[in-house]
C-alpha cells in the first residue's frame, strides 16, 4: 500500500542553493514592499490632512520638499503662510504629513515636549552621524557651554577677530586705502580659526596667508560651505530616510567628514592620554576638576570623573561627536558666520546705523574687550539681535516626528477664508513638525508692518507679542527652545559680537554690487549668493576708518 501511494505522489526534486537564495530574496523583497506600501498608506491617514495646505505640487515620494527648497529668499514658505494662514500642513518624504505653524502657544508645547515623545531628527546634520539624543547625557555637555566657559572663550574669539582686522588692514594699505573682497570667505576663516582653538586647542592657521595649506581646515571649510542646492539637500534627506542609499548617493563632503572624524579621534585619544597622565597622582577625578579650556578637554575631564553616573558616561566616539555636532548642527559656526555676514550686509546698506554702532565701539578703551565689556554695549547687542532676527541662518527646524499619538493646544487655521479655532490639534505617531524660524522672527503679527526691515532700535522697545516666542534666547526663535535648543547659543552670540567689534571699529564698508544681485536659496542655511553665478559670496568694499 505504501509503495502504491508513493507511486501516486509526484516526485519532488531538491532545490538548488541558487533557487533557495532567489526564493528567499523574493520573499524578503515582497515583505519590504508590503511594509513600504503600508507605511505610505498609514502616513496618508494623518489627522493633519484635514488642515489647509498646498496639494497640487506634492510628489509621491518627496512631497513638497523640492518646492520648499527651490525658492529664493523664502518666497515659497512666505507664499504658503500668506495663502493658508499661520497653521497648515504639507507633505514630506514618504508621504508623511508635516505640520507648519507660527502659533506661539502651539510651538511652546512642541518645543517643550520630552524626548521620549518626540524623536529628535534635525535636518541637514551632515557632519556627525553619532548625534547624542539622550537628555541625560546632555548634562555632561551643558557645563562646557555655560557662561563661565564662554567668558573664557571670548578671549579666543576677540583674538581671532583682531587677526582678521589685521589681515584686512594690510589689504587696504596694499590697495591704497580701499579694497574689494569677499567678506564671507574671510569671516569663514576667522570663525574656523576660533573653532580650532576653542574646540580642539588646534591652530588651523586660516588667517595666515603664508602658512602651508591645512588639510583638516580645508575639510572643515568644504563641509561648512557645501553646495546647498535642492538636489544636494534632497540627497542628504534621502540618505537619512533610507540608509541603504548611502552607498550610492555619495555626497561630495563625505571624504571631508571622514578626514575630520579620523583627525578628531586622534585628538580625542591624545587629549585623553594627557589628562590621565596629568591626573595620575590624583586619587579621585571629579567633575569639577579644571584643566584645558578647549571643549574636548572639558568634556573628557567630565566624562572621566569617578563621581559621574555610569549611565551618563560617553564613549570616545560620542565625545568626538559632540564637537562637530556643536560646531555644525549646534550652529556655532553656522550662526556666527552667517549672522555676522547678514549683519554686515545690513550695515553696508545703512551707513547711518553703521556709523552709530562704530561710535559706540570706539568708546571702548581696549582692543581686547572681555565678554562683560561686549555685553555692556547696548547698540552692539541690538545689531546682533537684529541680524539674527531678520536673516536667521537656517530657514526652519525639524525638531522631530511623533513617537506616539499626541495633541497640540490652541491652534487657529483657515479654510476658504473661514477661520477655525481648535483647543487641541491631533498629531499621530510618525507625523513631522516644521518650525518656520525665519517667518516667525519676521512675523508682522508680532513685529509690526516693518517686520522685514533691519532696524536695531526696535530692541529698545520690544513688542509684547515677542515675549510669547518660545526661544532659549528671549524674543527670538533662532536657537529654538526647550530640550532641543542649541546648546552653543552663548558661544555663537559672543563670537558674532567679537567679529562685529573689530570689523565695524576698523573699517567703513559698502556693498560692491547692487543689493538686487544678491539672493538666498531657501535651503537648509540662508547664505548670501551672487545671482550671476550662484556662488556663496558677500562682495564688499572696505575703507580704513580715519
Where does the pLDDT of residue 534 fall: very low under 50, low under 70, confident under 90, or very high at 90 and above? confident
Helices (runs of H) and strands (runs of E) counted in the chain = 20, 12
d(CA 326, CA 200): 12
- Does residue 178 belong to any structural domain of this protein? yes
| CA nearest to 65, candidates 27, 25, 28, 98 | 98
| Order of strands, sheet of 539-544, starting from the edge strand that comes earlier in the sequence | 178-182, 539-544, 507-511
Q: Are residues 163 and 295 in the same domain?
A: yes
Annotated binding-site positions: 486
Q: What is the mean pLDDT of residues 58-62?
A: 73
Q: Please write the tens of the pLDDT for every residue from 363-396.
A: 999 999 999 999 999 999 999 999 888 655 444 4
Structure confidence at residue 300 (pLDDT): 77
Question: Are 257 and 325 in the same domain?
Answer: yes
**For residues 415 and 266, which has the higher predicted lDDT (pLDDT)?**
266
User: Do 407 and 366 share a domain, yes or no?
Assistant: no
Does a structural domain hold residue 341?
yes
CB-based contacts of 10: which residues, under 8 Å, 6+ apart? none
Last residue of a domain, one of 417, 435, 453: 435
pTM value? 0.81
Determine, yes or no, domain membership for 345. Answer: yes
One domain for residues 403 and 387 = no
- How much is the mean pLDDT over the chain? 76
Cβ-proximal residues to 115 (8 Å cutoff; 6+ apart), any chain: 133, 134, 135, 483
Distance of CA 127 to the CA centre of its chain: 11
Same domain, residue pair 382 and 403: no
329 or 144, greater pLDDT = 144
pLDDT surpasses 70 at 97? yes
Q: Is residue 307 domain-resident?
A: yes
Same domain, 161 and 36: no
The set of cell numbers assigned to 382 is: 541690538
Domain assignment present for residue 278? The answer is: yes
> Is 497 within the bounds of a domain?
yes
| Per-residue DSSP letter, 325 | I
Question: Is residue 180 a part of any domain in this protein?
Answer: yes
Task: Let me know whether 426 and 503 are in one domain.
Answer: no
Residue 3 lies in a domain: no
Rounded CA separation 332/338 (Å): 10
Give yes or no: residues 203 and 159 share one domain: yes
Report the pLDDT value the prediction gives residue 493, as an integer from 0 to 100: 92
Supply 458's cell numbers: 526696535
pLDDT score for 175:
94
- Name the nearest CA neighbour of 295 among 202, 204, 199, 201: 199
More confident residue, 30 or 278: 30
DSSP letter at 288 equals T
User: Looking at the structure, do residues 417 and 478 belong to the same domain, yes or no?
Assistant: no
Number of domains in the chain: 2
Question: Which residues carry a binding-site annotation for heme?
Answer: 486
Are residue 484 and residue 348 in the same domain, yes or no?
yes
Which pLDDT band, with edges at 50, 70 and 90, does 306 fall under? low
Residues 384 and 407 in one domain: no
Same domain, 78 and 146: no
The DSSP code for 15 is: P
Give residue-wise pLDDT tens across range 118-133: 433 333 333 333 334 4
**Mean pLDDT, range 448-457, rounded to an integer:** 91
Kindly report the CATH number assigned to the domain that includes residue 330: 1.10.630.10
pLDDT of residue 356: 97
- Within a 10 A sphere around the Cβ of 55, how many other Cβ atoms? 11
- Say whether 399 sits in a helix, a strand or coil: strand
| Domain around 243 | 139-394+462-544
Amino acid at each position: 500500500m505504501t509503495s502504491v501511494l508513493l507511486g501516486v505522489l509526484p516526485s519532488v526534486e531538491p532545490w538548488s542553493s541558487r533557487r533557495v537564495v532567489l526564493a528567499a530574496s523574493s520573499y524578503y523583497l515582497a515583505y519590504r514592499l508590503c511594509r513600504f506600501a503600508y507605511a505610505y498608506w498609514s502616513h496618508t491617514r494623518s489627522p493633519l490632512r484635514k488642515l489647509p495646505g498646498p496639494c497640487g505640487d506634492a510628489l509621491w515620494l518627496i512631497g513638497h520638499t523640492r518646492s520648499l527648497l527651490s525658492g529664493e529668499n523664502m518666497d515659497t514658505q512666505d507664499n504658503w503662510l500668506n495663502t493658508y494662514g499661520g497653521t497648515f500642513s504639507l507633505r514630506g518624504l514618504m508621504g508623511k504629513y508635516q505640520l507648519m505653524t507660527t502659533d506661539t502657544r502651539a510651538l511652546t508645547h512642541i518645543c517643550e515636549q520630552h524626548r521620549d515623545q518626540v524623536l529628535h531628527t534635525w535636518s541637514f546634520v551632515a557632519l556627525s552621524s553619532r548625534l547624542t539624543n539622550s537628555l541625560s547625557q546632555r548634562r555632561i555637555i551643558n557645563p562646557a557651554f555655560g557662561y563661565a566657559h564662554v567668558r573664557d572663550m571670548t578671549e579666543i574669539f576677540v583674538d581671532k577677530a583682531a587677526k582678521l582686522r589685521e589681515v584686512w588692514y594690510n589689504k587696504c594699505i596694499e590697495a591704497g586705502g580701499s579694497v574689494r573682497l569677499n567678506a564671507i570667505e574671510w569671516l569663514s576663516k576667522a570663525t574656523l580659526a576660533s573653532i580650532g582653538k576653542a574646540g580642539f586647542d588646534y591652530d588651523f592657521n586660516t588667517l595666515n596667508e603664508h602658512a602651508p595649506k591645512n588639510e583638516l581646515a580645508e575639510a572643515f571649510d568644504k563641509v561648512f560651505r557645501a553646495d546647498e542646492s535642492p538636489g544636494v539637500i534632497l540627497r542628504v534627506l534621502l540618505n537619512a530616510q533610507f540608509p541603504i542609499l548611502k552607498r550610492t548617493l555619495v555626497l561630495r563632503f563625505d571624504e571631508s567628514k571622514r578626514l575630520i572624524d579620523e583627525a578628531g579621534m586622534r585628538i580625542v585619544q591624545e587629549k585623553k592620554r594627557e589628562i590621565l597622565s596629568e591626573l595620575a597622582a590624583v586619587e579621585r577625578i571629579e567633575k569639577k576638576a579644571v584643566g584645558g579650556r578647549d571643549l574636548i578637554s572639558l568634556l573628557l575631564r567630565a566624562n572621566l570623573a569617578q563621581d559621574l553616573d555610569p549611565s551618563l558616561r560617553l564613549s570616545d566616539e560620542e565625545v568626538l561627536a559632540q564637537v562637530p555636532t556643536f560646531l555644525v548642527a549646534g550652529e556655532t559656526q553656522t550662526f556666527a558666520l552667517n549672522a555676522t555676514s547678514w549683519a554686515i550686509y545690513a550695515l553696508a546698506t545703512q551707513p547711518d546705523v553703521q556709523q552709530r554702532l562704530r561710535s559706540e565701539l570706539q568708546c571702548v578703551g581696549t582692543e581686547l574687550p572681555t565678554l562683560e565689556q561686549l555685553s555692556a554695549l547696548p547698540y552692539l547687542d541690538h545689531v546682533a539681535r537684529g541680524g539674527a532676527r531678520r536673516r536667521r541662518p537656517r530657514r526652519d527646524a525639524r525638531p522631530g516626528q511623533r513617537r506616539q499619538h499626541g495633541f497640540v493646544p490652541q491652534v487657529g487655521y483657515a479654510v476658504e477664508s473661514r477661520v477655525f479655532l481648535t483647543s487641541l490639534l491631533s498629531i499621530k505617531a510618525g507625523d513631522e513638525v516644521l518650525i518656520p524660524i525665519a517667518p516667525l522672527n519676521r512675523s508682522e503679527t508680532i513685529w509690526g508692518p516693518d517686520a522685514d526691515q533691519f532696524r536695531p532700535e526696535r530692541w529698545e522697545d520690544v513688542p509684547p507679542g515677542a515675549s510669547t516666542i518660545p526661544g532659549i534666547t528671549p524674543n527670538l526663535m533662532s536657537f529654538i527652545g526647550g530640550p532641543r535648543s542649541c546648546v552653543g547659543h552663548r558661544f555663537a552670540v559672543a563670537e558674532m559680537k567679537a567679529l562685529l567689534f573689530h570689523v565695524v571699529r576698523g573699517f567703513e564698508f559698502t556693498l560692491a554690487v547692487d543689493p538686487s544681485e544678491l539672493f538666498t536659496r531657501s535651503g537648509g542655511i540662508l547664505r548670501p549668493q551672487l545671482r550671476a553665478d550662484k556662488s556663496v559670496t558677500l562682495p564688499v568694499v572696505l575703507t580704513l576708518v580715519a
